[in-house]
Structure 1
Amino acid sequence: MPTSPLINQLPAEVLQLLARHQLLRPLLNRQLLVDTLSDISVPQEQEQQAMDAYCKEHQLTDEQALKDHLTLAGLSMADLRWRVTLPFRITSYSLENFNHKAEQRFLERKEQLDQVMYSLLRIKNVYLARELFLRIAEGEATFAELASDYSEGKEKAKGGSIGPVPLCQAHPRLVEALRSHAPGTLVEPFQISDWWLVVRVDRYMPVSFDETIRKSMCRELFQEWRSEELNVQCKALTGTLQS
């Protein structure tokens, strides 16, 4: 997609000023959205729901409050309607143009999307870690009790409970331990950096290709396309300014 004619009509001095203050790319980004999504039809009910949600979020309880808000923000009502319907437009465009690639993207990303719940206890003393592991394994105390009393990480506040979180967010060594043990398994202490970890796998939550994931993959593909297109436009425009 070529750079918007509106951008190309700006004087070179203005474009150079925008570039100097790192505002050129954000401007191109916003205009790319306008050029791409302006033809997307938004149902009146959908638009009104978006407007109502915006007014509620900003505590705009009557028409005058809304007018004052727009004045302070330097926006017209049309500008605001565009803003609040942008998420709907992005989803609609993404589904229309990237739906055929969504399932393949899901398969490529599935390991990153799968979630897990686990219990974690981490301390720096290997001997104490071993002792606590045995106490849990032999039923002398619960994982939550010992994590609350002994864990030295932020999980202490929740009795060692972690998740549900994407499996890929964990340290690679921890991911390996979680993947290689069945739910309910108490994993023997192992070391990551200065920490000794005792881990119990509580629950795996594999992600399936449902409607929510399909929309998410389509939006992800759209954002990828958008970023690539933006890079092309920025490169072309800055090249023109430098010549």
Structure 2
Amino acid sequence: MAAVLKIGDSELDIRALLEQLQQHQLLPRLVQEVVLDQSIESVACDPEEAYKTFCLQRNLVSEQQQQAWQTQHKLTQEQMYMMALRDAKIAKFKEDTWGNQAESYFLERKIKLDRVLYSLIRTKDPSLAQELYFRLNDDGGSFADLARRYSEGQEAQTGGLIGPVELSVPHPMIGRMLSVSQPEQLWSPTPIGEWYVITRLEKFVPAQFDDSMRQRMIDELFKTWLQETTQSTAVQPLLP
């Protein structure tokens, strides 16, 4: 069987190339790209506008910068144009397919997208955790000072302060506590695994459905569709 690809000193025929794709877990990525190419085949875009957008996104303002990028990525000008057109088609395909679902999907996901700034102290000593809670709650102790001195995690370096982070980021139990907290609400020591955790909500930052969030929701819907479609696509080697 004739070689179809040479890499260094290695020449690969069709069978060897397929074996390499499978061995290195690259076949699913190839299937994904083929599925995507088939899906955007009929999408219409202006090639010149696509190229302009492609260059602007990469800050390739001058012709010299464009040629340097082309050389760096070992592409011909035609290949660069085709890459730009493909990007534009994918963007239009995502907008046309999921643009009208973005807001409802955001509302479904909002509880996990809201962000919180919170303070945390964790220790493996339940007696110490209780003492620290009393010092915070009854004596008005400084959370930052006590966290720097006693907390056993990386949060000690920031005086216990974490965030703002989305509510999906902390441990699920901490996330649930923070989601029903009022600012400055202090929670008594809570056992989570090997730790005893004291938390206090500092600030709640609700997620906003702005342009950036809308695009993120579209991208998430697209990614889910692409994964599901790729997994359900039949792949059959056609070798003699």
TM-score (norm 1): 0.76
In the alignment, residue 153 of structure 1 is paired with which amino acid? G
Asked whether the 8 Å contact 1:94–1:222 carries over to 2, the reply is yes
Q: Unmatched 5+ residue regions in structure 2?
A: 1-12
Structure 2 match to 1:52: 59
What does residue range 34-183 of structure 1 map to in structure 2 within 5 Å? 34-37=37-40, 39-41=44-46, 43=49, 44-52=51-59, 65-66=68-69, 68-70=71-73, 74-83=74-83, 89-138=89-138, 140-183=140-183
Structure 2 match to 1:192: 192
In the alignment, residue 237 of structure 1 is paired with which amino acid? V
Asked whether the 8 Å contact 1:123–1:197 carries over to 2, the reply is yes
| Structure showing the higher helix proportion among its residues | 1
Distance 2:138 2:61 in 1: 55
Structure 2 match to 1:7: none
Counterpart pick for 2:33 among 30, 33, 42? 30
Distance 2:84 2:135 in 1: 55
Distance 2:52 2:70 in 1: 21
Distance 2:79 2:67 in 1: 17
Identical counterparts, % of pairs: 31
In the alignment, residue 24 of structure 1 is paired with which amino acid? L
Quick one: structure 1 residues 34 and 78, their matched pair in 2 at CA, closer, same or farther if it must change by over 3 Å? farther
1:176, distance to aligned residue in structure 2 (A):
2.6
Query: Number of aligned pairs?
Result: 223
Distance 1:87 1:205 in 2: 33
Asked whether the 8 Å contact 1:112–1:166 carries over to 2, the reply is yes
1:199, distance to aligned residue in structure 2 (A):
0.7
Quick one: structure 1 residues 82 and 197, their matched pair in 2 at CA, closer, same or farther if it must change by over 3 Å? farther
Query: Which region of structure 1 is more displaced relative to structure 2, 34-43 or 132-141?
Result: 34-43
Q: CA RMSD in A?
A: 3.2
Distance 2:93 2:202 in 1: 39
Q: Which has the higher contact order (CA 8 A, sep 6+)?
A: 1
Asked whether the 8 Å contact 1:91–1:219 carries over to 2, the reply is no
Distance 1:101 1:170 in 2: 28
Asked whether the 8 Å contact 2:118–2:201 carries over to 1, the reply is yes
Q: Deviations for 1:19-78, whole angstroms, at most 9, x for unmatched residues?
A: 3443322222223333444644462542331242699xxxxx8577445423xxx42234
Distance 1:87 1:153 in 2: 43
